[in-house]
Amino acid sequence: MSFEPVRVASMGLGRWANVLADAALRGGKIRLVSCFSRTAEKRRDFMERYGAREAESLDALLSDDEVEAVILTTPNHNHKEHIEALAAAGKHVYCEKPIAHSLEHSRAIVDAVEGAGVKLAVGHSARRLAVSRRMKELIDAGEIGKISMSESNFCTERGLELTPDRWRSSRELNPTGVVIQLSIHHIDTFRYLHGPIRSVTAKLKRAYATEDVDDTSMMILEHESGALSYVGGGWACPWAFHMNVHGTKGVAHFRITGQQWRDPSKAPEPIRLRVDRDPLGEDSVYDMPEGDMFRDALEDFADCVRGDRTPEVDGRVAHENLAVVYAADASSRLGKTLEVKDYL
């Protein structure tokens, strides 16, 4: 039985809209039929690149019966307004992470999509890296034993490029800075690997960012399973992305480059997952297939729309991830460990 591609519009036509549109084209389950931005030039550029027609206003997009779903890449603080409107119009939504910039907005988004009966998938795509999937398989199969702790870091130089005219320069619109932008990736992946997060102990600070936002963070997460996870984040240094998972039978670890993150197929070498077992056993090295986390996340969204099932990262999961971010922020300010449930 052939799959009927989901007819999708792209909304918020910045750099990331192109990343996701390219990923959609690499698959076969999404067809880009329309696009919308308040800026006419951005609409024209997107139309020329992807062949989608333009919606000249949000109302025009909402009333377009051909559009079944929307890939939303508007600024985080606009997500609530846009998702509420799209849900009310019966449009399914794939929203780039995070779900929102505040817990109040996040709760309202979950209520809106569940009330309207539409699907919401949130683009926490790092859990779909081929190496993340393989790590999960090893953990579930007991290959590295019982997990006691994990370590991770995600850093980029973006905090050194901030200017006052960018919304990411605002503590109000971009609370916690590096945590809500980068560390949330590892928060979600650790939740995927080890289960829900019970408590957070954190320290956030501005070190060298060009605007007054946090660019350095350290968090210790305690999972309901009892495992501990460390998440480091830097927004004022060169690229770094790595993870170590420590078990009673081995330590699994990987590191990826910026090119491997953007498009593994174009990287000079594959992502490698290493499992160190000495002196308890032989070490292993797994070369990961190319993978395509952005395409795979969008294809899963399309399957959910057509198959009437819940996305792997739906509004409720994304809301829990954001609650961890806010618990980390409060922990840093108050200097104590905080329970995530108090922010749900």
Whether the predicted pLDDT of 174 surpasses 80:
yes
Does 114 reside within a domain? yes
Span 232-243, average pLDDT: 97
Model pLDDT, residue 1: 64
Looking at the chain, the whole-number percentage of residues with pLDDT higher than 90 is 96
pLDDT of residue 280: 94
Based on the fold, state whether residues 99 and 165 are members of the same structural domain: no
**pLDDT for residue 187 is more than 80:** yes
Helix (H, G, I), strand (E, B) or coil at 255: strand
* 102-137 residue pLDDT tens: 999 999 999 999 999 999 999 999 999 999 999 999
Predicted confidence (pLDDT) at residue 243 exceeds the cutoff of 70: yes
Q: Render pLDDT for 3-37 as a digit per residue (tens, 0 to 9).
A: 999 999 999 999 999 999 999 999 999 999 999 99
Domain boundary among 99, 125, 151: 125
Mean pLDDT of the 38-53 span: 96
Distance, CA of 105 to chain centre? 17
Q: How many structural domains comprise the chain?
A: 2
Same domain, 85 and 216: no
Same domain, 149 and 286: yes
* Pair 220, 264 in one domain: yes
Q: By percentage, how much of the chain surpasses pLDDT 70?
A: 100
pLDDT of residue 262: 83
Residue after which a domain boundary falls, among 90, 125, 160: 125
Mean pLDDT, range 148-174, rounded to an integer:
97
Full residue range of the structural domain in which residue 149 is found? 127-295+323-343
The mean pLDDT value for 275-298 works out to 94
Categorize the per-residue pLDDT at 87 as very low, low, confident or very high, splitting at 50, 70 and 90: very high
- Are residues 119 and 189 located together in one domain of the fold? no
Residue 317 lies in a domain: no
User: Can you list the pairs that 226-229 forms with residues at least 24 positions away whose Cβ atoms lie under 8 Å?
Assistant: 227/147, 227/148, 227/149, 227/150, 227/194, 228/148, 228/149, 228/150, 229/149, 229/150, 229/151, 229/152, 229/186, 229/190, 229/194, 229/197
- The residue written with tokens 């830097």 in the block is 234
**pLDDT-based confidence at residue 2 (cuts at 50, 70, 90):** confident
Task: Give mean pLDDT, residues 57-63.
Answer: 97
The mean pLDDT of the chain is 96
pLDDT at 289: 81
Final residue of a structural domain among 80, 106, 125 = 125
pLDDT at 335 over 80: yes
pLDDT at 34: 98
What does the alpha-carbon distance between residue 320 and residue 312 come to, in Å, rounded to a whole number? 13
**What pLDDT is attached to residue 224?**
97
Is 315 within a domain? no
229 & 335 share domain: yes
Task: Give the model's confidence band at 49: pLDDT under 50 very low, under 70 low, under 90 confident, else very high.
Answer: very high
Give 267's pLDDT tier (boundaries 50, 70, 90): confident
Complete edge-to-edge strand list for the sheet that includes strand 338-339: 284-287, 272-276, 251-255, 240-247, 147-155, 228-234, 216-223, 197-205, 338-339
